[in-house]
Amino acid sequence: MQQSKYMKWFAVAATVGMLLILLGGALVTKTDSGMGCGRNWPDCNGSLIPKEITKEVFIEFSHRVVTGSVSFLILILSVWSWRKLGHIKEVKLLSFLALFFLVAQALIGAAQVLWGQGDFILALHFGISLISFSSVFLLTLIIFEVDQRFDADKVHMASKLKWHTIGVTLYSYIVVYTGALVRHTNSSLVCPDWPLCNNRAPSIIPSNFYEWVQMGHRIAAAMIFFWILYIAIHAIKHYKDQRVIYWGWIFALIIVSLQVVAGMSVVLSRLNIYLALSHSLFITLLFGLLCYMILLVSRSRID
């Protein structure tokens, strides 16, 4: 049964809203606007509406407004999907995950404002938001009946591809975490060159903690690029007759390639804000796509 156009538009709005939350959070971090509203939450500098607007106040307060507004969208979409599409096995779980992790990321953000958090805890913030985004994204794909359009209910995936899909998706979360740790430890420009930390005086072993964080993320990013390249080549060779797998991994390779280029450009441009946000955007899209491939693994017929 085709879903109501209203439900489809609502799902699109919720997905775009979640994307704005992720990018807004990245913007807060990259512009050091996290304390724009002081040690106040949910109010801003003692007022429900800030009286004095600076750049930091505007960015932080706007992020809070977007998060609060989108939270209502996610709540409505979760309940709506649960009631209308609860017979589809993934819908109830995705609805719960979308809401649960949205609340979790909001509470971590609030805790940071009120009491402060360590860098290793703060680095979890973006990753938790990614899970919520991916859950909403998958719900939207189900609402638009993408599975039926691409015959995803007839997918047959060999064990080799299944394990690679699960492995690279779990590993992508490590890449996300190391990237977030780079930002929260202020390690973004500790290595001025690319691909090595210092191309003029190359050294295999980083000399301090911040170089370890930066180079660790670069190595992790390189590994996921080559892993996805390998999977994409495998899918192109063996899954031409299954469009959703064939094109899914081609798009994954394109996105991870853009991610690598964006990461390089962020360093060489000395943290250009637009390139930095594009870096966050590409990893968000990649993680959402990988989560959809996991959904296909769960639906694949047994060998």
Nearest to 155 by CA among 251, 255, 82, 249: 249
- 3-class SS of residue 44: strand
What is the spatial distance between Cα 141 and Cα 92, in angstroms, rounded to a whole number? 14
Cα separation of 92 and 241, whole Å?
31
Integer Cα distance of 120 and 104 in angstroms:
16
For helices 159-184 and 209-238, the axis angle rounded to 10 degrees is 150
> Cβ–Cβ contacts within 10 Å for residue 213, how many?
24
279 is in an annotated binding site: yes
Query: Do the beta carbons of residue 291 and residue 169 sit within 8 Å?
Result: yes
143 φ/ψ sector (left φ>0, alpha ψ -120 to 50, else beta): alpha
Helix (H) or strand (E) holding 139: helix 119-143
**Spatial distance between the Cα atoms of 219 and 34, rounded to a whole number of angstroms:** 29
Are the beta carbons of 17 and 69 closer than 8 angstroms?
yes
**Nearest in space to 165 (alpha carbons), one of 257, 292, 302:** 292
Which are the catalytic amino acids?
A: 60
Contact 295, 163 (CB under 8 A): no
DSSP tag of 36: T
Pick out the residues of the known binding site: 217, 279
Pick out the residues of the known binding site for heme: 217, 279
